[in-house]
Amino acid sequence: MKTEISTTEFLRLKNIEGDRRIKAGSQAVEATHLDKVYWPEDGYTKADLINYYIQVSRYIMKYLKDRPAILVRYPNGIGQEGFYQQNVEDKPEFVKTQKLRNQAGRILNYVIYSDLASLLYLVNLGTIAQNPWHSRITNLDEPTYIVVDLDPHTAPFSTVLKVALAVQQVLRDIGISGYPKTSGSSGLHVYIPLGRGHSYKEAAEFAENVSTRVAGLVPKIATVERRISERKRGQVYVDWQQNARGKTAASVYSVRARPGATVSTPLTWAEISYGVELSDFTIATVPARLKKMGDLWEGLLKDRQRLPRLAREQ
């Protein structure tokens, strides 16, 4: 039988091999094949990934708790293709699940993020990025935020930053706050926090309106055209279509299955203005950034905005 170690003890270990039982709160989580390399080019292992999530757990869990999860698993690391999993049947008793209807109408057993133990269980399955629903199980039909996804395709990241500032301007003109973060992949996300009472339909319509206004403000570098073949070279796709019930986006502080082990990281608007690089934010750098700057998104959890009724842009 493996000896249990605390999360604090786990963080002190070096060159971890084999398996461990990690005590997270009142639960013991099986962590297996800890020396498996998940990022071949960088040398980061499964143990490094678990180490990161333990370090940032008190921050990330605020944004995950009570939300259903869609898993994208890479059990052999990013060198091999991952796979999606929504239905989870065989799991420890401490991992909460709930039967929900997915977008295709099927009833599936979704894992619910509840505590650090549930997070570490999913990470041990090879779930590198954490993809929660936009709503909580307490009210699944009401999203707590809107996501505007700035997808560069082939545009340089410097252009993404310019489009983000256009999003800020549009939101400011409307009188609404937005919270930016790196996607951790290739673009940026801007989250718009919501108060109670907004439906997914309202959220999607508002996101579409904002995105259309952004594309109209900076048409040379932004578009709402979904078809890549119809976009102009160098345009950033302002994607509002991720705001349906059951859709997900990589959580803030989530690691991504990308070279460098990049992390979806909150930014200040000032940082966007003077420029950052996606490679600045990784599992090696984000814990220290959090200690220095704290949680830049803390306001998102308290900001209970009401969406104004906007005339549709022609």
Poorest-confidence range of 139-153, 184-198, 219-233?
A: 219-233
Mean pLDDT, the chain, rounded, equals 94
Give 230's pLDDT tier (boundaries 50, 70, 90). confident
Has domain 145-302 been given CATH number 3.40.109.10? Answer: no
pLDDT above 70: residue 313:
no
pLDDT above 80: residue 304:
yes
Residue 314's pLDDT is 37
Domain ranges of the chain: 4-124, 145-302
pLDDT above 90: residue 231:
no
Superfamily of segment(s) 4-124: DNA primase, PRIM domain (3.90.920.10)
Tokens of 280: 């600045």
Q: Give the closest residue to 42 by CA, choosing from 250, 290, 279.
A: 279
DSSP string covering 130-192, please?
--BBSS-TTSTTS-SEEEEEEE-TTS-HHHHHHHHHHHHHHHHHHT---EEEE-SSSSEEEEE
pLDDT in tens, 32-58: 999 999 999 999 999 999 999 999 999
Residue 237 near residue 151 (C-beta atoms within 8 A):
yes
* Cβ neighbours, 10 Å, residue 186: 18
